[in-house]
Structure 1
Amino acid sequence: MSLWLTGIGVSRGIAIARVQKLQAGDLEIPERALAAGEVDAEVMRFAAAHGIARQQLREVRAQIPAGTPSDIAAFIDTHILMLDDRSITDGTVQTIRNQRINAEAALRKTRDALIAVFEQMEDPYLRTRRDDVSHVCGRILRVLLKSERQLPQRSGQTEPFLVVADDITPADIILLSQQHVSAFVTEYGGPLSHTAILARSLGIPAVVGLRDARRLLRDGETVVLDGEAGHVLADPDALALDFYRAKQRAQAQYRANLIRLKGREAISRDGLHLRLLANIELPEDAKVAQENGAEGVGLYRTEFLYMNRKDLPSEEEQYEAYARIVQAVAGPITIRTLDLGADKQVDSGRSQGPTPNNPALGLRAIRLCLKEPDLFRVQIRALLRASSLGRAQIMLPMISSVQEFRQACAVIDAARLELIAEGKQLSGEVPVGAMIEVPAAALAAPWLARQARFFSIGTNDLIQYTLAIDRVDDEVNYLYDPLHPAVLQLISRTIEAGNAAGIEVAMCGEMAADPKYTRLLLGLGLREFSMHPEALLEIKQIIIESDVGALRKEVASLMQSQDLQEMRERINALGGH
């Protein structure tokens, strides 16, 4: 009898394969007291396990084939850097010495404390870095406990297999991809975890957050996985197999057709040219983005320079990082200023105030920068210097008022005058724009548009703040709804305000990369989409097939609907235009 299960689809595609469970998921971590004479030996045991874990990751890194996209290797590089972070190494050693407990227990305490910090972070992407902490510490723990996870050994086997596990690390995914894994299901995880992002980069269909998957699915049974819908069908009948095999073939043909679009511009059926931009994190990603037709970069995050370190990055360090990325991008590049705050502190002793009750609404992003102008000034000086090497523009996050925007611009103007006085080479003008991710900013868009040179709509936060929900929280994330009328009204208002003022309006949130919403956004008047490079071709295909003029009329009509169910049905039917 078939069993139908639903989790969170994080990487699209259909897989039909036999289940292979990944064992040794859960670790039992003992705690024992040490005698004074045992402490030094225990510190050495931890150091040895740490060295073995680092070597394991380096071996995985060395196995990545030449020519693989840079973002895939970057996941392992990130884990290697995190492994050597002093918060993990020094923190664990200090706990061993101060509390006189064994290395496993000390590392568990370090891990739990770090995860607690990430749990408080408002930004969904950064909060899911708690998974990376867990993966890195888990690798050292397995060495200490002599409980290595056993990956399937399938040399010479060609039958498709689907891995079921509690969680899968990026390193495990890379090794499994070399054994031609068809798909994977995990009991934990979310759409923004590195595991999910890597699955999408490698094109491996995946469903995460499917609780009790290891108990409900049996080794060796045939399973159908739909990575878009988040469905897993165990023991399918012949009719279901025929249906999903036909769907597999159609998807394969669709992907093959997308490759032909690499050299084409994103021009709609009625002749409108749309700008497709990329969200990137590394200079190497710019090449992939350009190959897929990106005309520039719509979002480059900078807060990664500040994370996992004891000190703040200097102006020179930041300048070098920004210079590399600006020089690597052929078109314009939008660089977002740091989005750190009370919930995302660097461990530098910079802020000694009390932890806020609600960090999501606390001192973060532009609010922090205006309160601590020296922190902001260093970054702005580095950005202005790097801008002379390309076509950079500065984006300010979490703007909520015209006054805030003006204050930030005053700091930028002052930094420019300082650099000119010092004889530094600068570009003639660096456009400064606002990220629209707070409902107040969307409502104030007509006034902000008179000050800002451009807008970029950050739908991830805009939806969360509008609906007062946390999409990473399993208890309420079912309420996360991009099609909520209030969200659509705020997006529409922002686009209209930008158009009226003659400034560019882009969207850099996940909604821009989701093909379900492309025609809706075109109908709302959006003309610039920024997304992960891998999503560019599919969005381009939809644009090429769309009549934007017809969509504008249809969307204007459906936005007047008083029946929410009818409104959703009409949005879903936009594919015919």
Structure 2
Amino acid sequence: MTLQVFGLPVARGVAIGKAVLVASSRVDVAHYFIGPDQVEPEIERLRRARDVVADELAGLKRDMPSDAPAELGALLDVHLMLLHDEALTGATKQWIVERHYNAEWALSAQLEVLARQFDEMEDEYLRERKADIEQVVERLLQALGRNGSVLAAAPAPHPADWGGEDPLVLIANDIAPADMLQFKRSVFQGFVTDVGGKTSHTAIVARSMGIPAVVGAREASHLIRQDDWVIIDGDAGVVIVDPSPIVLEEYRFRQRQSELERERLARLRHTPAVTLDGERVELLANIELPQDAPGALAAGAVGVGLFRTEFLFMNRNGELPGEDEQFEAYRAAVQAMQGLPVTIRTIDIGADKPFERMSHNELRHEHTLNPAMGLRAIRWSLSEPSMFRMQLRAILRASAYGKVRLLVPMLTHLGEVRQTFEALARAKQQLSDAGVPYTDVEVGAMIEVPGAALLADSFLKHFDFVSLGTNDLIQYTLAIDRADEAVAHLYDPWHPAVLRLIANTISAAHAAGKGVSVCGEMAGDPAFTALLLSMGLRSFSMHPSQIATIKQRILRADTRRLSHHAQAILSSDAPEEACCRLLRGDTGRETSLH
């Protein structure tokens, strides 16, 4: 029976495929693919975890006090029986062998299958045994976590490698940023999550991958079953489960049209981004790992406007990457860009990108009442001075191999500015004392807090450039948790207050003769290209997959004409409507907005 699930459209296009469920668990579960040569070692990990849990349960039963209820011993017997049941461990092995899932993911996938079977049982007593299965799986997951894994994550295998040719879509309650890294170059055609907003990390990465996604779909992961056929309509925010043949064919036609449009845009790759009136615009790339740099070059980026270094720190069980490891990563990105500038942002851990070891006191992200307002980004770096200097040294060392710029996130106080430059001076001195080469780098500030935007002129006295992080700027200006689907509808990049803060920052940078760019989601959204150009922005940084679309808008724009409308749009109570009306022209001819 066809079923429709509604959520928030966050990455445009259509995806069609069989559902792969990432089940939620009370225990954090890593999801990654393993290589063919890692299948047997991973099965052995599962076997060892089963033996550990069996010993634990046997020990609990052996050490039971004499006055313990008889039911408790019977319950332990049930858990031991479930532990050795082929429906659990045997089927879990099949997920490892056939889909190349790591053991934790395979176990969670099988739990999802079994839980549904129990939910459908008519007998109430049997239905309640689902809790026993969940408890056994939780023990296994904990044992796997204690044993750890020495296996490196592998790229997702093609479906043909596990005996199928069908495309796949990923369905989850939520997808952690660290897991998104593993899925980034995977076979998945689209994503659906129960939670999240338009600028949640899952949404951002899905857009950056250029694949359709719907978030905030509430009960999607409970309504959709493993291997259900699913259509993801990333334009309307609709997920269609078990579609009819007619609906399926209609969406396949739309897919073909989108592919033709992408091919047409790809021809603009090497065309300079120059407006109709001769204004040159800088189109930069946002990257997360050094391996992303060649893709940025291939897409026509003229540099990296944002290297998100925090992804080097994830999926490491709280262990920090050393200075040499960081240096090698930064150098690889710099050399891959072949002399073009690379802007490296210091670690922006916190909020929707939690780090397992938030401080030496082992403070964890989940214990923070409001992580978006807590110890994150530069605040965390300044609270960990040795870690911060280590990262600064690694970045400075990479500057000897190309043009590097340093970007500092979430500055709010001039005191933080002073501490940052003191740390930078100390890092430089340490390198000089050790005879390690580096060059002076330009230093920029992320403007993503209203307080910083209002003090942009003061910040610009200390920095060489500023970069507008519009995702957080919108969140903090409107007091909206952008990852919370309950208030996601209030997240509004067209809000007059947001647009005025952006315009004022761009104006302040021009007045100071300093560079300014936008590296948030607005930079890669064609709906805002004309407006940002009208404000005087000439530097956009976005995921490489978005560059061609934005370049097309720029090639069709006349900034002299656009600049006449900027003030009217900014002073309007309904900026989006005013923008549409003014930038289309009196004849109804579209100039570059929609």
Q: TM-score, normalised by structure 2?
A: 0.69
From 324, 328, 332, give the equivalent of 1:320: 328
The Cα shift of 1:415 comes to 2.1
Q: 1:247, CA displacement in angstroms?
A: 5.6
The match for 1:286 is 293
1:388 touches 1:425 (CA, 8 Å); kept in 2? Answer: yes
- Shift of residue 413 of structure 1? 1.8
After TM superposition, the structure 1 = structure 2 runs for residues 169-248 of structure 1, keeping only pairs within 5 Å, are: 187=194, 204-213=211-220, 225-232=232-239
The amino acid across from 2:334 in the alignment is: V
- Give how far 1:280 is off: 1.0
Q: Is the 8 A contact 2:285 2:304 kept in 1?
A: yes
8 A Cα contact 1:184 1:205, kept in partner = yes
Which whole-Å deviations, capped at 9, do the CAs of 1:407-441 have from their partners, x for residues lacking one? 211221232133223222121x2111101111111
Once the two structures are TM-superposed, the CA of residue 192 in structure 1 deviates from its matched residue by: 6.7
Residue range with higher mean Cα deviation, 481-490 or 560-569:
560-569
Q: Which moved more, 1:504-513 or 1:303-312?
A: 303-312
Residues 82 and 60 from structure 1, CA distance in 2 versus in 1: closer, same or farther, beyond 3 angstroms?
closer
- CA deviations on 1:192-221 (whole Å, 9 max, x unpaired) are 778767765765434343344588889999
Of residues 374, 379, 382, the one that matches 2:386 is 374
How far apart are 1:471 and its partner, in Å? 1.1
User: What does residue 491 of structure 1 align with?
Assistant: 502
- Which residue is 2:59 aligned to? 36
Larger displacement relative to structure 2 (464-473 or 316-325): 316-325
Q: Which moved more, 1:193-202 or 1:302-311?
A: 193-202
C-alpha contact (below 8 Å) 2:285/2:305 kept by paired residues: yes
Give the Cα–Cα distance (whole angstroms) in 2 for the partners of residues 401 and 226 of structure 1. Answer: 43
Counting only pairs closer than 5 Å after superposition, residues 108-123 of structure 1 correspond to structure 2 as none
Task: Provide the C-alpha distance between the structure 2 equivalents of 1:60 and 1:193, rounded to a whole number of angstroms.
Answer: 28
- 1:425–1:375 CA distance, 2 compared to 1 (3 A): same
- Correspondence for 1:274 among 276, 281, 293: 281
Q: Deviations over 1:39-77 (max 9, x none)?
A: 9x99xx89xx9999899779868xxxxxxxxxxxxxx9x
Structure 2's unaligned 5+ residue stretches are: 28-49, 63-78, 107-133, 147-152, 154-158
Percentage of identical aligned residues: 42
* Equivalence for 1:126: none
User: Which of these two proteins has the greater Rg computed from alpha carbons?
Assistant: 2
Question: How do 1:282-431 and structure 2 match up within 5 A?
Answer: 282-307=289-314, 308-330=316-338, 331-340=340-349, 344-347=354-357, 350-351=360-361, 356-427=368-439, 429-431=440-442
Residue 556 (structure 2) aligns with: 545
Deviates more, 1:512-521 or 1:5-14: 5-14
Distance 1:24 1:563 in 2: 41
Letter in 2 for 1:412: L
In 2, the alpha carbon distance for the partners of 1:244 and 1:218 equals 21
* Aligned 1:128-147 pairs, distance under 5 A: none
**CA separation of 1:404/1:290 partners in 2, compared to 1, >3 Å: closer, same or farther?**
same
The question of whether the paired residues in 1 share the 8 Å contact of 2:230 and 2:242 is answered with yes
> Is the CA contact (8 Å cut-off) linking 1:205 and 1:225 kept in structure 2?
yes
Equivalent position amino acid for 1:576 in 2: T
CA offset at residue 315 of structure 1? 2.4
Does structure 1 conserve the Cα–Cα contact (< 8 Å) formed by 2:465 and 2:509?
A: yes
Cα separation, partners in 2 of 1:81 and 1:535, compared to 1, 3 Å: farther
Deviates more, 1:22-31 or 1:373-382: 22-31
Residue 441 of structure 2 aligns to a residue in which SS?
Answer: coil
Secondary structure of residue in 2 paired with 1:517: helix
2:156 is matched with which residue?
none
User: Structure 2 vs 1, CA of residues 304 and 440 (structure 1 numbering), >3 Å: closer, same or farther?
Assistant: same
Distance 2:420 2:60 in 1: 57
Please state how far the C-alpha of 1:547 moved relative to its aligned partner. 1.3
Residue 271 and residue 348 in structure 1: after superposition, are their counterparts in 2 closer, same or farther (change >3 A)?
closer
Partner of residue 455 from structure 1, selected from 451, 466, 473: 466
Amino acid at match of 1:332: P
Residue 496 (structure 1) shift:
0.6
SS in 2 for 1:435: strand
Q: Do the aligned partners of 2:196 and 2:483 also contact (CA within 8 Å) in 1? A: no
> Do the aligned partners of residues 107 and 229 (structure 1) sit closer, same or farther apart at CA in structure 2, a change above 3 Å counting?
same
- 8 Å CA contact retained: 1:164, 1:214: no
SS where residue 527 of structure 2 aligns? coil
Contact 1:60 1:175 in 2 (8 A): no
- Residues 1:105 and 2:138 aligned together: yes
Retained in 1: the 8 A contact 2:411–2:445? Answer: yes
Q: Secondary structure at the match of 2:320?
A: coil
Q: How many residues align?
A: 495
> Following TM superposition, by how much is the alpha carbon of 1:316 offset from its aligned partner in structure 2, in angstroms?
2.4
Instruction: Determine the C-alpha separation between the residues in 1 that align with 2:514 and 2:185.
Output: 43
Q: Are 1:279 and 1:532, in contact at CA under 8 Å, matched by a contact in 2?
A: yes
Residue by residue over 1:447-482, the C-alpha shift from the partner in whole angstroms, topping out at 9 and shown as x without a partner, is 111211011111111111111111111211111111
Give the aligned residue type for 2:7. Answer: G
Contact 2:496 2:574 in 1 (8 A): no
- Residues 1:510 and 2:521 aligned together: yes
Q: Is the 8 A contact 1:166 1:187 kept in 2?
A: yes
- Residue in structure 2 matched with residue 521 of structure 1 by the alignment: 532
Equivalent position amino acid for 1:264 in 2? T
The one-character-per-residue Cα deviations of 1:124-172 (angstroms, maximum 9, x if unpaired) are: xxxxxxxxxxxx9xxxxxxxxxxxxx99998578xxx886955698789
In 1, the alpha carbon distance for the partners of 2:323 and 2:222 equals 52
Following superposition, the deviation at residue 304 of structure 1 comes to 2.9
Using the alignment, how far apart are the partners of 1:326 and 1:483 within structure 2?
35
Instruction: Tell me the residue number matched to 1:12.
Output: 12
Say if 1:306 and 1:346, in contact at 8 Å, map to a contact too. Answer: no
SS at match of 1:298: strand
Q: What is the CA deviation profile of residues 474-505 of structure 1, one whole-angstrom value per residue up to 9, with x for unaligned ones?
A: 21111111111111111111111111111111
Answer whether contact 1:520 1:571 (CA < 8 A) is retained: no
> How far apart are 1:399 and its partner, in Å?
0.8
- Structure 2: distance between partners of 1:508 and 1:484: 18
Question: Closer, same or farther in 2 for the Cα pair 1:174/1:297, shift >3 Å?
Answer: closer
How high is the TM-score relative to the length of structure 1?
A: 0.71
Name the SS for the 2:290 alignment partner: coil
Which residue identity does 2:379 align to in structure 1? R
- For the structure 1 residues 227 and 151, does the alpha-carbon distance in structure 2 shift closer, same or farther, using more than 3 Å as the test? farther
Alpha-carbon displacement from aligned partner over 1:70-129 (angstroms, at most 9, x marks no partner): xxxxxx9xx89999xxxxxxxxxxxxxxxxx9762225669999xxxxxxxxxxxxxxxx
Q: Could you say what secondary structure the match of 1:481 adopts?
A: coil
Q: Distance in 2 between matches of 1:373 and 1:387?
A: 21
Check whether the contact 1:312–1:346 (CA below 8 A) recurs between aligned residues: no
| 1:534 match | 545
Q: 8 Å contact 2:197–2:488 — kept in the other structure?
A: no
Q: Which moved more, 1:402-411 or 1:234-243?
A: 234-243
C-alpha separation between the residues in 2 aligned to 1:350 and 1:23?
Answer: 35
- CA pair 224-357 structure 1, distance change in 2 beyond 3 A: closer
Q: Which has the higher mean CA deviation after the structures are superposed, 489-498 or 234-243?
A: 234-243
Query: Please, which runs of 5 or more residues in structure 1 have no aligned partner?
Result: 62-75, 84-100, 114-135, 137-149
1:258 paired with 2:265, answer yes
Q: Are 1:481 and 2:492 an aligned pair?
A: yes
C-alpha deviation, 1:318, in angstroms: 2.3
Q: 1:335 is aligned with what amino acid?
A: I
**CA 1:104 to 1:370, structure 2 compared with 1: closer, same or farther past 3 Å?**
same
Q: 1:432 aligns with which of 429, 443, 451?
A: 443
Pair 38,105 (structure 1): closer, same or farther in 2 beyond 3 Å? farther
What one-letter code is carried by the residue in structure 2 that aligns with 1:425? Answer: P
